[in-house]
Amino acid sequence: MAYAEDRWEHFRFRNTRPDIRNIVLLGKTGSGKSSLASTIFGEKDLFKVCHSSSNGTTCCQSETRRVRGKTVQLIDTPGLFDTDPDAPDIKKEMLNYLRNRLYGIHAFLLVLKVEKFTKHELSVAEVVCKHFSVDALKYTTVVFTQGDQLERGVNIEEWVSDNELLSMLVQRCGGRCHVFDNKHWNNSWDSYRNNQRQVIKLLNTIDQTVRDNRGRCYLLRQPWF
């Protein structure tokens, strides 16, 4: 019976509308998820940003816009590592929100900053697998913020390759990675350090991810808690 249900789910969601992309942003508080979402849509402060050291986004925020001929829905989520004993069950609330709002997820954006990378940051992949599943990494692209910290002439792939742990993380996500700078790269004349150009590259990567997954969305299963 379970096998038949799985077949039905894949059949139902395999061929989604080609002009829609459902994209979920994941990462630690302070990684720049909310600012990145606003940058992708080209609208300043569209998504709520918290500058304190405590939890930023405490619930999901969803916005939909047309971007380069496609309808894009971005969902900003609470920080994966936020640990407030008085806070509600963020995992449960987040998954319920996504199930109620989405028929499937075309891509996850795992957001990290361009900074010293440690084993703690590497564990974000394990947190994604814990909250979702190992299959979620097939739909995941690593997106770095604070790209202005890159040395001139160095691209994000070169920077990643200098760190074995970071390279392992990106490889687990199919080798997909991009970089933005939400403060300094808007309307830049630089051919690489330019958010508008990076948005085009990111959307192309997401389109390729959809093709690699044969047009299927990542499906959120029924609650297991």
125 in a domain, yes or no? yes
Is 9's pLDDT higher than 80?
Answer: no
102 in a domain, yes or no? yes
127 in a domain, yes or no? yes
Q: Give bridge partners of residue 144 from the DSSP assignment.
A: 112, 179
Its domain, for residue 33, covers 25-58+69-212
175 in a domain, yes or no? yes
Is 111's pLDDT higher than 70?
Answer: yes
H or E element that contains 29: none
Tokens 């909250």 appear where? 131
3 in a domain, yes or no? no
Under the banding of pLDDT at 50, 70 and 90, the label for residue 68 is: confident
Segment 58-66 shows an average pLDDT of 87
Segment 108-137 shows an average pLDDT of 85
Name, of 49-53, 114-118, 218-222, the range with top average pLDDT: 114-118
Residues 108 and 188: their CA atoms lie apart, in Å, by 27
Is 42's pLDDT higher than 50?
Answer: yes
- CATH classification of the domain holding 86: 3.40.50.300
Is 175's pLDDT higher than 70?
Answer: yes
pLDDT (tens digit per residue) in 94-103? 888 888 877 7
Tokens 């199930």 appear where? 99
Residues 143 and 154: their CA atoms lie apart, in Å, by 16
Cα-to-chain-centroid distance, residue 218: 13
64 in a domain, yes or no? no
Give me the number of domains the chain comprises: 1
155 in a domain, yes or no? yes
Under the banding of pLDDT at 50, 70 and 90, the label for residue 120 is: confident
Q: Which residue, 202, 208, 209, is CA-closest to 40?
A: 202
184 in a domain, yes or no? yes
Looking at residue 81, its pLDDT comes to 63
Is 17's pLDDT higher than 70?
Answer: no
Taking each continuous run of H as one helix and of E as one strand, the counts in the chain are 8, 6
Exposed/middle/buried for 189, CB within 10 Å: 0-12, 13-18, 19+?
A: exposed
